[in-house]
Amino acid sequence: MKMTWHHLAFDEESQIGFGEYTFKYKDYQAHGIVAIKVRHRKIANWREYEIPSNLSWEQFIGENMF
């Protein structure tokens, strides 16, 4: 199992963060995004969206680079 984070951002004032990732496990690979809300130093809300894909991260994002 391997997870590679590509972009991470966290706003201290609002305690909201996000990250883009690639997840690999055996023959399964997916690219996704996670959004979190922290409250009282713990994750209060978590949203995760993932798309299975055999493409590399660079191929997956194409020309839409940050």
pLDDT in tens, 16-65: 999 999 999 999 999 999 999 999 999 999 999 999 999 999 999 988 87
Instruction: Look at residue 48 in the predicted model and tell me its pLDDT.
Output: 97
**Number of domains the chain contains:** 1
Q: How far is CA 39 from CA 8, 32, 45, in A?
A: 18, 23, 9
Residue 43 resides in a domain: yes
Residue the block writes with tokens 């590679």: 4
Residue 66 resides in a domain: no
Instruction: Look at residue 65 in the predicted model and tell me its pLDDT.
Output: 77
Tokens representing 48 are 């995760």
Residue 24 resides in a domain: yes
Residue 50 resides in a domain: yes
- One-letter amino acid at 19 equals G
Q: pTM for this one? A: 0.84
Q: Look up the domain containing 55 and give its range.
A: 2-61
Instruction: Look at residue 64 in the predicted model and tell me its pLDDT.
Output: 80
Q: Which residue, 19, 33, 24, is CA-closest to 2?
A: 24
| pLDDT above 80 (res 66) | no
Instruction: Look at residue 63 in the predicted model and tell me its pLDDT.
Output: 85
Residue 23 resides in a domain: yes
Tokens representing 4 are 């590679």
Helix (H) or strand (E) holding 12: none
